[in-house]
């Protein structure tokens, strides 16, 4: 890199290139053949925003090793694979790599009635295979940023189909404060951190603090698990009461 250039300072250019590389989303795909084209289409839709690190075969040991070696921002996991169960793989990756491994499960709504098992295993979100590749690209970015994929349409449809509430009302839900309970209700509607902050009239940093407290109190590891818990405990109703 030439430091003296007529338009751009070489030092600034180097700094910009390094920052741009860091901001690219590293993606590891644990794949079956039918998922290849879909994921690669999403990578193309994301243009320079994605760095496809590797594709792990349908074997748990290979997926775990690839995750440790490449440290991806997001792992795209197919639920239905001929050799490896995607739910068990997600649970194992989360147990081994904890917060360093954020998993996006890709599934088929009409066939995968066990998708909630992947959610309970710690997946940060799921996406239906009939979504456009650019929607997968957006989902990967969202999960890499620390949010969960819990869109009001797809998530509510799946949860209402498969989750039976275990209680009739939210009386004293796990010791949550009124504010935390309100945020759980909003999370069950599929709101992102920014949307939660706007709806509750608090800062994004405060939202993150509340979400961390909710996860700790409920003994959960992901926002989407909170959504499942909310549906199971009758908290997937109206939004905050205010205050």
Q: What is the pLDDT of residues 57-86, one digit of tens each?
A: 556 777 778 888 888 888 888 777 777 778
pLDDT tops 70 at residue 12: no
Query: Measured between alpha carbons, how far is 202 from 196 in angstroms, rounded to an integer?
Result: 8
**Token pair belonging to 58:** 């349908």
pLDDT band at 5 (very low <50, low <70, confident <90, very high): very low
Q: 78-122, pLDDT tens digit by residue?
A: 777 777 778 888 888 888 877 678 888 887 755 455 666 777 788
Give the strand order in the sheet containing 25-30: 50-56, 25-30, 74-78, 103-107, 125-128
User: Who has greater pLDDT, 206 or 80?
Assistant: 206
CA–CA separation, 12 and 4 (whole Å):
11
Higher-confidence residue: 172 or 126?
Answer: 126
Q: Where are the alpha helices (DSSP H) in the chain?
A: 10-23, 33-45, 60-70, 86-97, 115-120, 133-144, 152-162, 178-187, 193-200, 204-218, 223-232
Nearest to 56 by CA among 46, 67, 71: 67
Six-digit token string for 156 = 């509510």
113 vs 228, higher pLDDT: 228
Least confident of 52-61, 101-110, 190-199: 52-61
Name the pTM for this structure: 0.63
Q: What is the pLDDT of residue 1?
A: 42
- Tell me yes or no: is domain 25-149 CATH 3.40.50.2300: yes
Cα-flanking dihedrals φ and ψ of residue 43, to 5°?
A: -60, -40
Q: How far apart are CA 194 and CA 63, in angstroms?
A: 32
Quickly state the pLDDT bin for 198 (edges 50, 70, 90): very high
Q: Which of 130-139, 182-191, 206-215, 220-229 has the lowest mean pLDDT?
A: 130-139
Output the average pLDDT for the chain: 71
Look-up of token digits 């290849």: 36
Top pLDDT among 159 and 188 is at: 188
90: CB partners within 8 A, 6+ apart: 77, 103, 105, 118, 121, 122, 123
pLDDT at 41 exceeding the cut of 50: yes
167: which 2 tokens? 């209680």
What does the domain layout of the chain look like in residue ranges?
25-149, 164-232
How confident is the model at residue 4, as a pLDDT?
A: 44
Four-way CATH pick for 164-232: 1.10.10.10, 3.30.70.1170, 3.30.460.80, 3.30.470.20 = 1.10.10.10
Q: How confident is the model at residue 42 (pLDDT cuts 50, 70, 90)?
A: low
CB 209 within 8 A of CB 183: no
Average pLDDT value for residue range 184-198: 85
């Amino acid at each position: 890199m030439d430091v003296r250039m007529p338009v751009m300072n070489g030092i600034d250019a180097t700094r910009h290139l390094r920052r741009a590389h860091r901001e690219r989303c590293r993606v590891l795909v644990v794949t079956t053949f039918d998922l290849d084209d879909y994921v690669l289409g999403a990578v193309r839709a994301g243009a320079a925003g994605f760095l496809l690190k590797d594709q792990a075969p349908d074997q748990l040991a290979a997926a775990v090793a690839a995750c440790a070696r490449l440290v991806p921002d997001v792992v795209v996991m197919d639920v239905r694979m001929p050799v490896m169960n995607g739910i068990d793989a997600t649970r194992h990756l989360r147990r081994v790599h904890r917060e360093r491994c954020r998993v996006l499960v890709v599934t088929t709504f009409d066939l995968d009635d066990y998708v909630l098992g992947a959610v309970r295993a710690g997946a940060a979100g799921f996406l239906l295979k009939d979504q456009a590749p650019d929607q997968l690209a957006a989902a990967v970015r969202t999960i890499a940023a620390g949010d969960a994929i819990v869109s009001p349409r797809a998530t509510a449809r799946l949860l209402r189909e498969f989750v039976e509430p275990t209680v009739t009302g939210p009386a004293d839900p796990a010791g949550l404060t009124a504010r935390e309970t309100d945020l759980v209700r909003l999370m069950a509607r599929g709101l992102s951190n920014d949307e939660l902050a706007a709806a509750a009239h608090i800062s994004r940093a405060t939202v993150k603090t509340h979400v961390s407290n909710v996860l700790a109190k409920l003994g959960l590891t992901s926002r989407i698990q909170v959504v499942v818990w909310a549906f199971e405990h009758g908290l997937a109703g109206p939004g905050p009461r205010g205050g």
